[in-house]
């Protein structure tokens, strides 16, 4: 009789009164529950954990319809929570974007671009929008306009590099309509040749408005495709064990117009991540109008555990926003910033709306705190600063006194070299001062600020928290500022739950909490430090549902819808570059072979080596060794 068959060593009990939907056993569970920090198994019913313990403790929960998964002794962690991700906007565009995230060489990046340009239909663009920097490439540099022109002679190509620059090929300059007479908005620069024509390079000097406005000129996905794009993006995030994010709004992300896809997915029960979102006023000078409109129509807390409004931000007004372009001097705070911020914060506090606020530099933070104190000595609503790379200890004390918290990201991993060149190694060593934040008991939640600057891969950020190294391997952060792996993981799980009022149910694996977890490819607690960024999830569970499964678990997750449009770069290259060791090795060999062939040709041209088909060439000393 099938009911009596043992399932993974546990005999299903047809008399089990309240069987679990899912039991995961034979794992190394890091629960983050001080009452039981380690376990081997857990049981899930109706989206929540009902038991955590050893394998044998699960027996009463295994009924005939319980799915039992053997975790194969792998590490299991609470699902990751990126506390600063532009996930809603990123989802709308994901299937339109070629991702260079994690790509090891510029040669490969340009090859991808060439391939993609070849299949991109007329009228569409190839766009690479953040998540990479030249430091990650073996060549340690950015592509040039002429390389983009060679890779894509006719298809518009837009490559966004961090918060610093965009590189456009000739076809993109034409498609956008940049000419000799084009004028850059304040804070932006169109680089020109000796004849005054735009070269294709756009600079944030220091504001990226010009870059983003140019990007916004490109075609968008049709509404139905935006839905599919969002699903595929969430699935891509599930691939790394993310189960929650706190959305930071963003430019061109207006409410409610640009929230249709995520709202529809929530209604249909198709979200595979929990999203708490913030509303971001779009138009300089009209911020209060936006805030008043929202206060009149929605309330923080609206929604449910899958999609919930969490307040305003990360901009409340445009004028106090500073820009994290470390290749440029710190932007000066306009005179009107205090007045505009005060009006916005006063309106929010009076209406009991919490908020988050973008602030990179200490100068911005202390000025913002002065404004907050004018509104009320204790704001009395939940609020936190985002970024805070150069916040002082005095400001941290004031944040603590005013009931605020912090959300930090690994922007220094991508931009830290530029920061060090401008401000020096000593200041880079303490940016951001993570230890001082934690020592004050402030909630210090981690994240990425993806997708337009950093990559969304949370393991890069976790590696940075532990090692303090840039993506190019430069050690920037002082050992005093770095954190141990347990702390880093709490910052990436429970801390984010603290910023959305979900500390009791999320970020901990214990009975009563959401069944959000990831089974990892490598053990975060024992993998070598430089291996942290190569970790992926093999099994991601959100609300008790298996949403992502790979490796030994492949097939356990429901299939994804087909990628539309079919020419999407994601259909060919996926998202974050796959770094399975075998693939990495093959790539390295391939690239080395290509380099050596180039070198051989160079020598042949100069008469150092003979032609490629003669046997004699093996005597070329460059190739014998
Ligand atoms: Zn920001």
Distance 314 CA to ligand 1 centre (A): 6
Residue 398 CA to ligand 1 centre (angstroms): 21
The answer to whether 524 touches 485, Cβ cutoff 8 Å, is yes
Angle at 479 between CA 475 and CA 488, to 5 degrees: 95
What is the CA(499)–ligand 1 centre distance, in A?
Answer: 16
Stretches in the chain below the pLDDT threshold 50 = 1-5, 611-625
Ligand 1 mean position to 487 CA, how many Å?
A: 23
**pLDDT given at position 363:** 97
Both structure tokens of 159: 């490559």
Task: Give the tens place of pLDDT for each residue, 11-42.
Answer: 777 666 789 999 999 999 999 999 999 999 99
The whole-number pLDDT of residue 323 equals 85
C-alpha of residue 145 to centroid of ligand 1, in Å: 28
DSSP β-ladder status, 537-542 and 307-312: unpaired
Q: What pLDDT does residue 304 have?
A: 98
**359 alpha carbon to ligand 1 midpoint, in Å?**
7
CA of 237 to the centre of ligand 1 (A): 20
- CA 588, CA 586: separation in Å to the nearest integer? 5
| Ligand 1 centre distance from Cα of residue 387 (Å) | 7
How far, in Å, CA of 546 to CA of 539, rounded? 7
Tell me, what's the pLDDT at 216?
A: 93
**Cβ atoms of residues 150 and 106 within 8 Å:** no
Can you give the pLDDT at residue 578?
A: 85
CA torsion through residues 452, 454, 457, 462, sign: negative
- The CA 449 to ligand 1 mean position distance, Å, reads 7
DSSP 3-state of 594: helix
* CA nearest neighbour of 79 among 550, 552, 578, 494: 494
CA of 9 to the centre of ligand 1 (A): 50
Q: How far apart are CA 168 and CA 156, in angstroms?
A: 8
Ligand 1 centroid to Cα of residue 520, in Å, is 30
Query: What is the 358 CA–ligand 1 centroid distance (Å)?
Result: 5
Alpha-carbon distance of 221 to 233, in angstroms, equals 14
pLDDT of residue 612: 46
Residues paired with 517 in a beta bridge: 78, 541
Q: What distance in angstroms lies between residue 582's CA and the mean position of ligand 1's atoms?
A: 37
**Distance, CA 553 to ligand 1 centroid (Å)?**
37
Q: Please tell me the pTM assigned to this model.
A: 0.92
DSSP state of 327: T
CA of 484 to the centre of ligand 1 (A): 26
Report the separation in Å between the CA atom of 131 and the middle of ligand 1, taken as the mean of its atom positions.
Answer: 15
d(CA 584, ligand 1 centre) in Å: 33
CA of 476 to the centre of ligand 1 (A): 21
pLDDT for res 609 = 58
- Evaluate whether 451 touches 411 at the Cβ level (below 8 Å): no
CB 172 within 8 A of CB 157: yes
> Residue 187 — left, alpha, or beta (φ > 0 → left; ψ -120 to 50 → alpha)?
left
- Collapsing DSSP states into helix, strand and coil, what is residue 549? strand
* CB-based contacts of 540, cutoff 8 Å, min separation 6: 79, 238, 239, 241, 242, 243, 517, 518, 519, 546, 547, 548, 549
φ, ψ (nearest 5 deg) of residue 163:
-100, 20
Partners of 53 in beta bridges: 41
Find the radius of gyration of the CA atoms of the chain.
Answer: 26
Over residues 187-243, the pLDDT tens digits come to 899 999 999 999 999 999 888 899 999 999 999 999 999 999 999 999 999 999 999
Q: What is the rounded CA–CA span in Å between residue 516 and residue 544?
A: 7
Q: Yes or no: say if 434 and 444 are a contact pair by the CB < 8 Å rule.
A: yes
69 and 23 Cβ atoms separated by less than 8 Å: yes
- Taking the centre of ligand 1 as the mean of its atom positions, its distance from the CA of residue 549, in whole angstroms, is 32
Residue 624: the pLDDT is 30
Cα(577) to ligand 1 centroid in Å equals 25
**Sheet (strand 307-312) strand order:** 80-85, 242-247, 274-279, 307-312, 355-359, 383-387, 404-409, 444-447
Distance 345 CA to ligand 1 centre (A): 17
User: Distance from the CA of 105 to the center of ligand 1, in angstroms?
Assistant: 28
Q: Which residues in 565-582 are b (16+ Cβ under 10 Å) and which e?
A: beebbbeebebbbebeee
Q: Residue 136 gets which letter from DSSP?
A: G
Contact 261, 270 (CB under 8 A): no
């Amino acid at each position: 009789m099938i009911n009596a068959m043992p399932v993974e060593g546990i005999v299903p009990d047809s008399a089990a009164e309240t069987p679990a939907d899912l039991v995961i056993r034979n794992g190394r569970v890091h629960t983050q529950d001080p009452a039981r920090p380690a376990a081997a198994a857990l049981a899930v019913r109706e989206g929540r954990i009902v038991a955590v313990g050893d394998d044998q403790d699960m027996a009463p929960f295994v009924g005939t319809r319980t799915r039992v998964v053997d975790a194969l002794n792998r590490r299991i962690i609470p699902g990751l929570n990126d506390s600063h991700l532009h996930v809603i906007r990123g989802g709308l565009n994901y299937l339109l974007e070629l991702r260079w995230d994690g790509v090891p060489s510029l040669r490969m990046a340009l090859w991808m671009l060439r391939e993609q340009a070849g299949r991109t239909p007329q009228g569409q663009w190839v766009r690479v929008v953040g998540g990479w920097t030249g430091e990650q490439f073996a060549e340690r540099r950015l592509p040039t306009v002429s390389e983009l022109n060679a890779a894509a002679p006719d298809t518009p190509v837009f490559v966004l590099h961090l918060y610093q620059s965009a590189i456009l090929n000739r076809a993109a300059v034409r498609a956008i309509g940049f000419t000799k007479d084009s004028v850059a908005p304040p804070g932006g620069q169109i680089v020109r040749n000796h004849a005054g024509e735009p070269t294709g390079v756009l600079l944030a000097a220091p504001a990226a408005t010009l870059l983003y406005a140019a990007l916004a000129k490109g075609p968008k996905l049709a509404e139905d495709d935006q839905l599919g794009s969002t699903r595929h993006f969430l699935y891509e995030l599930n691939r790394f064990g993310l189960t929650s994010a706190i959305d930071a709004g963003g430019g061109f992300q207006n409410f409610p117009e640009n929230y249709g896809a995520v709202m529809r997915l929530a209604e249909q029960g198709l979200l595979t991540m929990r999203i708490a979102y913030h509303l971001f006023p779009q138009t300089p000078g009209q911020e209060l109008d936006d805030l008043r409109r929202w206060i009149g129509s929605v309330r923080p807390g609206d929604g449910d555990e899958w999609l919930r409004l969490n307040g305003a931000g990360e901009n409340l007004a445009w004028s106090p926003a500073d820009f994290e372009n470390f290749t440029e001097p710190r932007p000066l705070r306009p005179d009107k910033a205090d007045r505009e911020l005060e009006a916005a914060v006063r309106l929010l506090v009076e209406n009991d709306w919490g908020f988050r606020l973008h602030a990179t530099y200490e100068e911005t933070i202390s000025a913002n705190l002065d404004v907050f104190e004018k509104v009320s000595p204790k704001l009395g609503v939940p609020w936190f600063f985002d970024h805070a790379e150069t916040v002082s200890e005095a400001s941290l004390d004031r944040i603590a006194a005013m009931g605020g918290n912090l959300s930090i990201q690994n922007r220094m991993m991508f931009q830290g070299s530029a920061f060090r060149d401008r401000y020096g190694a000593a200041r880079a060593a303490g940016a951001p001062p993570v230890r001082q934040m934690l020592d004050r008991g402030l909630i210090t939640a981690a994240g990425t600020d993806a997708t337009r600057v950093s990559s969304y891969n949370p393991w890069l950020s976790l590696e940075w928290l532990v090692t303090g190294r840039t993506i190019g391997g430069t050690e920037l952060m002082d050992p005093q500022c770095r954190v141990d792996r347990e702390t880093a993981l709490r910052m990436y799980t429970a801390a984010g739950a603290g910023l959305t009022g979900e500390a009791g149910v999320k970020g901990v694996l214990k009975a009563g909490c959401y069944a959000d977890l990831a089974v990892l490819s490598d053990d975060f607690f024992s993998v070598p430090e430089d291996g942290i960024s190569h970790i992926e999830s093999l099994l991601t569970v959100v609300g008790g549902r298996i949403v992502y499964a790979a490796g030994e678990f492949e097939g356990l997750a429901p299939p994804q819808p087909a990628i539309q449009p079919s020419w999407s770069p994601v259909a060919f290259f996926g998202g974050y570059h796959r770094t399975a060791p075998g693939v990495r090795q093959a790539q390295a060999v391939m690239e080395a072979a290509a380099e050596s062939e180039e070198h051989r040709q160079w020598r042949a041209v100069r008469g150092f080596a003979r032609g490629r088909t003669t046997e004699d060439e093996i005597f070329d000393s460059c190739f014998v060794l």
